[in-house]
Amino acid sequence: MKIKAIALNTFREAIRDRVLYLLLFFALASLLFSRLLALLTVGDRVKIVTDVGLAAISLFGALMAILMGTGLVFKEIDKKTIYTLLSKPIHRHQFLLGKYFGLVLTLFVMLFLMTVIFFVIYFLHALKIEWSMLIALFYIFLELCLITAVALFFSCFSTPILSSIFSLAFYLIGHLSWGLETLFKKMSPGIGKVTARILYTFLPDLENFNFKTEIVHHLPIPPQILFFSTIYGISYTVFVLFLAVLVFRKRDFI
């Protein structure tokens, strides 16, 4: 109940942020651009629209998650609205979770808007709707939930700019770390292999949420992979939120 009140207020605050609309604008521009690109190329135009469209939604969604996630808690501390809020009978973790769910709600709405536009553009092109794309979009949403948690975690102890850089690094590493997996599988046993393996275990692998290729090329996705990605996303998010609460609980607000 208290978490819900804070979440709704966070949502109300977030949807007034101009940065959000700037990113939304760029996302829509990219979607339109994908159509233009498709018209100019030979080959499978529908694939290009799908590919560029999903990539744009994923990228701009992540940027929204990072900028909102790192900004909103900091603002609350910076403007000292947190003083009265935390003096109310709420636990600090309730405040943090309220912020988190408010952000997730905001991202859900933004993702929904982008999806609607994307489907319209896709329909104009293919004259049909490919519902299987909702699977890819669902996993993009899971990824955004994780990135929001990471952004929130960093903003619990550093400034928005630093937190944004850290979160962006998390995003990039997360999309490149699968290389490590390939690497350690090819390496001969030894110290190097163990290191690569340990690194891979702890570094995020955001490619687990990437089903663009499968959707674009109509490849079958085994259900156990979908199941694994869901569990991976939820447990990673819960873990990061838990760390954020640990840091936030002991923090001085000065």
Partner 1 sequence: MATALRIDNLHKSFKTGFLLQKKTILKGISLHVDQGEIFGYLGPNGAGKTTTIKCVMGLIFPEDGDIKLFDLPHLSLKAKERVGFLPENPYFYDYLTASEFLRFYSQLFVIPELEKEKRIEDILQLVDMKKARNLQLRKFSRGMLQRIGLAQALLNNPDIVILDEPLGGLDPLGRKEIRDILVRLREEGKTVFLSSHILQDIEMICDRVAIIVNGEIVNQGYLQELISERILFTEIIISGLGKSDLEELGESLSTPGGKILLKIHDEKKINSVFRLIQDRGGKIHSLTPRTETLEDLFVGMVKKK
- Nearest-approach distance from CB 107 to partner 1, in angstroms: 19
For partner 1 (CB under 8 A), the number of binding residues is 26
The C-alpha angle 17, 154, 96, rounded to 5 degrees, equals 70
State the amino acid at position 140 in one-letter form.
Answer: I
247: contact with partner 1 by CB under 8 A:
no
Smallest distance from partner 1 to CB 31, Å = 29
Q: Is 105 in the site for partner 1 (CB under 8 A)?
A: no
CA dist., res. 116 & res. 122, Å (int): 10
The verdict on 18 binding partner 1 (CB under 8 A) reads no
Q: Which of 219, 38, 45, 29 is nearest to 118 (CA)?
A: 29
Q: Which stretch binds partner 1 (CB under 8 A): 4-12, 104-112, 161-169, 210-218?
A: 4-12
- Figure out which of the listed residues 16, 128, 186, 218 binds partner 1, where binding follows CB under 8 A: 16
Q: Which of residues 76-95 bind partner 1 (CB under 8 A)?
A: 79-91
Nearest to 111 by CA among 229, 27, 224, 204: 27
Q: With respect to partner 1, which residue has the nearer C-beta, 9 or 158?
A: 9
Name the residue nearer to partner 1 (CB basis): 80 or 217.
80
Distances (CA, A) of 251 to 6, 55, 77, 95, 184: 19, 37, 11, 13, 39
CB 130 within 8 A of CB 50: yes
Give the per-residue contact string, 42-81, with partner 1 (x = CB under 8 A; - = no): -------------------------------------xxx
- Find tokens 């550093």 and name the residue: 158
User: Under the criterion CB under 8 A, does residue 9 sit at the interface with partner 1?
Assistant: yes
Q: Phi and psi dihedrals of 220, rounded to 5?
A: -70, 145
Dig out the tokens for 165 from the structure.
């850089």
The residue behind tokens 């840091």 is 247
Q: Is 188 in the site for partner 1 (CB under 8 A)?
A: no
- Alpha carbon 241 to its chain centroid, in Å, reads 14
Choose the binding region for partner 1 from 5-13, 111-119, 137-145, 212-220 (rule: CB under 8 A): 5-13
Residues of this chain that interact with partner 1 (CB under 8 A) are 1-2, 4-6, 9, 12-13, 16, 79-91, 250, 252-254
